[in-house]
C-alpha cells in the first residue's frame, strides 16, 4: 500500500492533522501558563512526586557551570544513569549510560565514552543546544530505568516506553514504543523507535510502525509485535489520568516506563504529543476525542474517566473498518 493510499484510508478513520491538533487541542485545552509545568522535566517530576505518582529518581540537577563540580559523583552509579536536557524533546540530547567501566562509561549502544566527553555533553545541554528556542537549560541526571523482561523479545538495547494520550482527563489512545538499533537506547519515534498500537481496554499490543511505515515484526529481533500484554496496565492508565489532575492540561501525552523492580514510573508529560500514534493504532484520534469534547468530564473521578475512555475505544474499534484504498 502506498503512503498516499494509507493516509487516505486513515483519513476515513478520523485522522487528525497538525493544524487541527494545534487549534482544537493544544490552543483550546492547554493554557500557556500550564504548559511550563511540563516543558521543564524537573518541574514535572516535582509535581508528580507531590501527587505520589512514581518517577525515576533524580540524582542531580545541574543548573550552571558551578554545578558541574559534582558531575563525576553523580555519574558514578553502578546501574547507570540517564543524562537529559530539562527542556528537551523527541529524545534529543539524552544519553543513556549503562554504568561506569574501565576508563569511562558504557553507553546503551555498547560503546565506551570518556568522562571528558560526558562533561562536554552536559555543557552543551547547559548552553541550550537541545532546549526549546535555544535558551540556556539545566541538565537532569536521573537513575537509569532497568526495564522489565516482558519486552526482551521486541526491544533492542534500551527502555521501551508507553505513551498514553489523555483528553480532559480521559485516556483515549495508547501505544508502546520500542527502541531499535537505530534509536540509540531511546524509544522516540523520530529517533527510529517502533510504535505499537495498544488495546486501551486490555493493554495488549496490536500492530506496529517505524518511520511512518507499517510493520508487524521488530526490525532487529524479527519477533512479532502483536499479542504482548503490557503489565501494570490499570495502574498506568491511573497514572496518566492523574497527570491531568496534577497539571490541568486538557490535552497531554504521558510517557511511562516500567522498571523491573519499581514497576511503572512516569518519565515525562508532553503538552503537544505527536500524531504518529494514529498510524500505530491504524486509527485517527477524532472519533476517540469527539465524545470527550462533547462531555463535561469535570464531575467524573479518575476511575470513571478511565471507564469512559475504554468505552469509547471499544465502540470505535468494534465498528467495521473502512476498506483500505
Ligand X SMILES: Nc1ncnc2c1ncn2[C@@H]1O[C@H](COP(=O)(O)OP(=O)(O)O)[C@@H](O)[C@H]1O
Residues near ligand X (CB under 6 A) are 56, 82, 84, 88-91, 94, 96, 142, 144-145, 158-159, 161, 179, 186-188, 255, 267-268
Give yes or no for residue 255 binding Mg ion (CB under 5 A): yes
Give yes or no for residue 184 binding Mg ion (CB under 5 A): no
Which one, 57 or 311, has the nearer CB to ligand X? 57
Which one, 163 or 242, has the nearer CB to ligand X? 163
Strands of the chain, DSSP E? 58-62, 81-85, 95-101, 104-107, 112-113, 139-143, 161-167, 170-178, 194-198, 205-210, 213-215, 251-259, 263-270
301: left (phi over 0), alpha (psi -120 to 50) or beta: beta
State in angstroms the smallest separation of the CB of 317 from Mg ion. 25
State in angstroms the smallest separation of the CB of 193 from ligand X. 7
277: left (phi over 0), alpha (psi -120 to 50) or beta: alpha
In this chain, which stretch among 33-41, 149-157, 166-174, 251-259 interacts with Mg ion, using CB under 5 A? 251-259
State in angstroms the smallest separation of the CB of 268 from Mg ion. 5
State in angstroms the smallest separation of the CB of 269 from Mg ion. 9
Closest Cα partner for 271 from 36, 86, 24? 36
Which one, 88 or 169, has the nearer CB to ligand X? 88
In this chain, which stretch among 110-118, 170-178, 247-255, 316-324 interacts with Mg ion, using CB under 5 A? 247-255
Which one, 56 or 287, has the nearer CB to Mg ion? 56
Contact 307, 35 (CB under 8 A): no
Q: Alpha-carbon distance 304 to 289, whole Å?
A: 16
Q: Alpha-carbon distance 174 to 161, whole Å?
A: 11
Residues in contact with Mg ion by the rule CB under 5 A: 255
Amino acid at each position: 500500500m502506498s503512503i498516499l493510499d494509507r493516509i487516505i484510508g486513515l483519513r476515513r478513520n478520523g485522522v487528525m492533522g497538525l493544524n487541527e491538533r494545534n487549534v482544537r487541542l493544544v490552543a483550546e485545552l492547554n493554557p500557556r501558563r500550564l504548559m511550563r509545568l511540563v516543558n521543564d522535566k524537573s518541574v514535572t517530576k516535582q509535581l508528580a512526586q507531590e501527587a505520589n505518582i512514581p518517577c525515576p529518581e533524580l540524582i542531580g540537577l545541574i543548573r550552571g557551570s558551578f554545578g558541574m563540580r559534582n558531575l563525576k559523583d553523580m555519574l558514578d552509579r553502578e546501574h547507570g544513569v540517564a543524562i537529559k536536557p530539562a527542556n528537551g524533546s523527541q529524545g534529543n540530547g539524552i544519553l543513556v549510560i549503562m554504568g561506569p567501566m574501565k576508563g569511562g562509561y558504557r553507553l546503551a549502544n555498547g560503546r565506551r565514552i570518556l568522562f571528558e566527553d560526558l562533561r562536554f555533553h552536559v555543557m552543551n545541554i547547559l548552553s541550550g543546544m537541545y532546549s526549546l528556542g535555544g535558551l540556556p537549560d539545566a541538565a537532569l541526571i536521573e537513575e537509569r530505568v532497568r526495564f522489565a523482561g516482558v519486552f526482551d523479545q521486541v526491544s533492542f538495547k534500551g527502555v521501551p516506553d508507553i505513551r498514553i494520550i489523555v483528553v480532559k482527563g480521559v485516556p483515549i489512545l495508547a501505544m508502546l514504543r520500542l527502541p531499535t538499533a537505530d534509536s540509540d537506547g531511546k524509544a522516540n519515534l523520530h529517533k527510529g523507535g517502533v510504535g505499537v498500537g495498544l488495546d486501551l481496554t486490555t493493554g495488549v499490543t496490536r500492530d506496529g510502525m517505524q518511520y511512518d511505515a507499517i510493520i508487524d515484526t521488530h526490525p532487529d529481533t524479527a519477533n512479532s509485535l502483536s499479542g504482548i500484554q503490557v503489565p501494570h496496565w490499570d495502574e498506568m492508565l491511573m497514572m496518566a489520568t492523574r497527570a491531568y489532575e496534577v497539571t490541568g492540561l486538557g490535552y497531554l501525552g504521558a510517557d511511562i516506563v516500567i522498571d523491573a523492580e519499581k514497576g511503572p514510573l512516569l518519565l515525562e508529560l508532553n503538552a503537544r504529543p505527536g500524531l504518529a500514534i494514529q498510524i500505530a493504532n491504524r486509527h485517527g484520534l477524532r472519533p476517540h476525542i469527539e465524545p470527550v469534547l462533547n462531555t463535561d468530564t469535570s464531575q467524573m473521578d479518575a476511575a470513571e474517566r478511565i471507564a469512559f475512555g475504554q468505552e469509547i475505544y471499544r465502540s470505535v474499534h468494534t465498528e467495521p473498518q473502512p476498506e483500505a484504498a
